[in-house]
Structure 1
């Protein structure tokens, strides 16, 4: 084979550190962005938080035909005043942007008192505190505390008493009867039903604690002791036959049981703070138009530290190389933050424009939409739209929604159109809410009703959507 030299010209996209950072910031949630911001503030001395009174956020007020360039709001690169790179978007001179104040709260952490709620007691702490208030011997206190330690977060005793007895040292000579006595003591503690070994016993303990003249209390006890599986499957015909009662009596007993708490320990389960989200976008109706704007609370206020910037301006020798590098990284970070929120705003407004009927009429008016539609409209890649819509939230008059919520599959209609899966779920909820309780709609019946409206959906699809809405099957929804 003869060797030869050839010259070829080609173009390729180089993932510079700045571009990598921009992509990473775009896919972060608001909580993760806050963590990234705190880390950057600690590592880069030239980056600091901006003053609240100078901070403004963009408010998109364009029409359907107007779009916002992704570079809108980029910081000015002026060597004479390096500290001008603030995330205030104030460089945008357009009628589509309105400056709004983000609040008058002081940014001085030393002068701000943050109220911190005290930690609520756990179920174990709550039970042990009650035991300490009782006039019990040290021996009985120890046995009761042993049982409390074996109770799970729902309030149930997982381990059988026989296993607990075998775990105790033989020299203590504690028999099963003593543990049963201690368990009776624990089961009389608050909350009612705690220490039960199964659901039937939990409900029974709560019924026994009610006054004896409570209507249908005895019937309720009879059901939870002997016929709870029949009640769970709503087999009312067999229940009435076994209990020898009429519909009115069974209905009253069922209502009494359903008011009980099947998880008495759940009230002491602590909710983690990361279950809460902060919406990046707020949607409001202004002069008959639905408009998206950034949430000022979610946009970081950043700027270049003036003192270090002045030092860098006066000293241009090699000794200031470190500050020069940190200055460039700070400007990149500020610009990428602005780029992130500008892109989120563009995508959000495009979603609002396409889903206007949803904001007017709710889920039933949701139109089918895929990522490619927004990507083609804004001239972005589908992967970018996917990053923007994941774990980013929109505050609307009807609630908070993840941007991904507005995208979904579609089902064909007889007229040749399409209906979104979200709209079908909303219709299913409406049908179930309006159904006759004694004759709930089956999946086949719901599919037939949708078919009469021109929406062709298979029964198994109805079952899948119903389960995603956590709606029980027809036999589970049946009432007396």
Structure 2
């Protein structure tokens, strides 16, 4: 028989309050995601408004609305019922939404006219489809051409095989590889030249096709593209001359002709506007100190609408508005916490990496998240959230916060050296080397050791490869003559 009893048990557990959850979510959001979050909050929460500090003139024919301070002296109007939203009564309702701001200050007389980049560019696919509409009538061939265009990447190369495209057309269209090959030949005549190629050789040959037959070096350029791309990439001109049986002048003309072509033709037709990085903080040198400040364009000041909040009183009515009021207060507080945390973390990073700001990459010091967390007495996960997807504008450029964190290599004098500083030194040594006698990885390691940086040859090779530098044998430039 089961006996029922009562027991008193004490336990402890960590609970994330809604406000803490909101603060954590806002902290880890990048700029664009944060702006979308705030825009949605301003649209959906009646209790939120922009704190721009400006009095907005009412539209013509309307009476001036009282300010928030005047609302306290006058009888409060009845708040809207639950589920109602009189957005036209909000102080920011008449303010147009300009890019980069949330109904911030409206453009008044004498304000500077802003120019914004044209975002109406088209992609390579749009460019090709526009030509397809002109050159091909409706039918199976046009559907095949559309499938081919969809398989072309941003560089202009066909990624799928003709067999795969043929299989993807079934069962709507019954075709064969030969038919698809003929349609592909039509697509390859579209602008830009070289689009739709399956490899670099075909891309170059497509671009050489329109040249006049008497173009100097044309025949040899075609043979180079078809037979000697590997040797050409290694700049092994002696092997090319032996293989093709040409002299120096002919090879020079052919190489110059190939260099005039575009190995990535798709980029020439892509007119989409570039995506710009919006920095979260600005770093400036003022006299002898580095100052850090939050970018005001991405940190709009929000506040609770005092007029609506004052209308609620202490009664138990309007539960929906009370819930919105609580969420508005949490959001305003969470924004303050986010900006304060970002500012503290950025200042700690700048304080640690002043040598980088003054001397460049070679002055970078080793740094890990734990050091910043211990300095600011924060949890390491908080520092991780504050540095992911956040950017810093410095006199040396715009860098992600994570850029300033790097592993360390022990130096001969007992001081650690940042891997970023070692990479910068290797890059400079390779840039200054004799092209006819490039430095090997062992030679680079010896030079670094002479400067007090003990790095193994395999570590030098790893850093060199990560920066895209070929080996010393591949860097050796063999003169054509």
When normalised by structure 1's length, the TM-score is: 0.75
Aligned mates of 1:173, 1:318 — CA distance in 2 = 70
- Tell me, yes or no, if the aligned pair for 1:143 and 1:182 is still in contact at 8 Å: yes
2:81 alignment counterpart: none
Aligned mates of 2:169, 2:407 — CA distance in 1 = 58
CA separation of 1:208 and 1:422: change in aligned 2, threshold 3 A: same
CA separation of 1:318 and 1:206: change in aligned 2, threshold 3 A: same
2:363 alignment counterpart: 365
- Classify the secondary structure of the residue corresponding to 1:297: helix
CA separation of 1:325 and 1:414: change in aligned 2, threshold 3 A: same
CA separation of 1:281 and 1:125: change in aligned 2, threshold 3 A: closer
Shift of residue 416, structure 1, vs aligned partner: 1.2
1:400 alignment counterpart: 398
**1:7-406 map, 5 Å:** 14-51=15-52, 53=54, 106-107=105-106, 117=118, 119-130=120-131, 133=134, 143=141, 146-147=144-145, 149-151=147-149, 152-153=152-153, 154-157=155-158, 183-212=184-213, 214-245=215-246, 250=251, 253-269=254-270, 276-312=276-312, 315-406=313-404
1:456 alignment counterpart: 454
- Classify the secondary structure of the residue corresponding to 1:411: strand
- Tell me, yes or no, if the aligned pair for 1:231 and 1:239 is still in contact at 8 Å: yes
When normalised by structure 2's length, the TM-score is: 0.75
CA separation of 1:155 and 1:388: change in aligned 2, threshold 3 A: closer
Alignment of 1:410 with 2:397, yes or no, is: no
Q: Which runs of 5+ in 1 are unaligned?
A: 55-79, 82-101
1:70 alignment counterpart: none
CA separation of 1:163 and 1:334: change in aligned 2, threshold 3 A: closer
CA separation of 1:199 and 1:303: change in aligned 2, threshold 3 A: same
Aligned mates of 1:213, 1:450 — CA distance in 2 = 53
Aligned mates of 1:435, 1:283 — CA distance in 2 = 35
2:445 alignment counterpart: 447
Shift of residue 384, structure 1, vs aligned partner: 1.8
CA separation of 1:432 and 1:207: change in aligned 2, threshold 3 A: farther
C-alpha offsets along residues 165-215 of structure 1, whole Å, 9 cap, x if unaligned? 899899x99898776665544433311112333321210121233344544
CA separation of 1:237 and 1:447: change in aligned 2, threshold 3 A: farther
- Tell me, yes or no, if the aligned pair for 2:436 and 2:476 is still in contact at 8 Å: yes
Shift of residue 310, structure 1, vs aligned partner: 2.5
- Classify the secondary structure of the residue corresponding to 1:282: strand
C-alpha offsets along residues 106-146 of structure 1, whole Å, 9 cap, x if unaligned? 358xxx99978464344344345445556x8x59x864763
Shift of residue 41, structure 1, vs aligned partner: 2.5
C-alpha offsets along residues 428-454 of structure 1, whole Å, 9 cap, x if unaligned? 221222223344333232222212212
Aligned mates of 1:182, 1:7 — CA distance in 2 = 77
1:89 alignment counterpart: none
Aligned mates of 1:116, 1:433 — CA distance in 2 = 36
Aligned mates of 1:146, 1:187 — CA distance in 2 = 13
- Tell me, yes or no, if the aligned pair for 1:282 and 1:293 is still in contact at 8 Å: yes
Coordinate RMSD, CA, aligned: 3.9
- Classify the secondary structure of the residue corresponding to 2:469: coil
C-alpha offsets along residues 221-263 of structure 1, whole Å, 9 cap, x if unaligned? 1111122232234444422321234566545543432442222
The count of residues paired between Structure 1 and Structure 2 equals 422
C-alpha offsets along residues 39-96 of structure 1, whole Å, 9 cap, x if unaligned? 3334432112222649xxxxxxxxxxxxxxxxxxxxxxxxx89xxxxxxxxxxxxxxx
Shift of residue 13, structure 1, vs aligned partner: 5.4
Aligned mates of 2:175, 2:323 — CA distance in 1 = 72
Aligned mates of 1:113, 1:305 — CA distance in 2 = 29
- Tell me, yes or no, if the aligned pair for 2:122 and 2:272 is still in contact at 8 Å: no
- Tell me, yes or no, if the aligned pair for 2:144 and 2:169 is still in contact at 8 Å: no
- Classify the secondary structure of the residue corresponding to 1:318: coil
CA separation of 1:52 and 1:250: change in aligned 2, threshold 3 A: farther
- Tell me, yes or no, if the aligned pair for 1:412 and 1:419 is still in contact at 8 Å: yes
CA separation of 1:272 and 1:466: change in aligned 2, threshold 3 A: farther
CA separation of 1:253 and 1:474: change in aligned 2, threshold 3 A: farther
- Tell me, yes or no, if the aligned pair for 1:150 and 1:158 is still in contact at 8 Å: no
Q: Which runs of 5+ in 2 are unaligned?
A: 1-6, 56-71, 74-100, 108-112
Alignment of 1:428 with 2:426, yes or no, is: yes
C-alpha offsets along residues 376-428 of structure 1, whole Å, 9 cap, x if unaligned? 22222222222211111100111111111111111111111111011011112
Alignment of 1:471 with 2:469, yes or no, is: yes
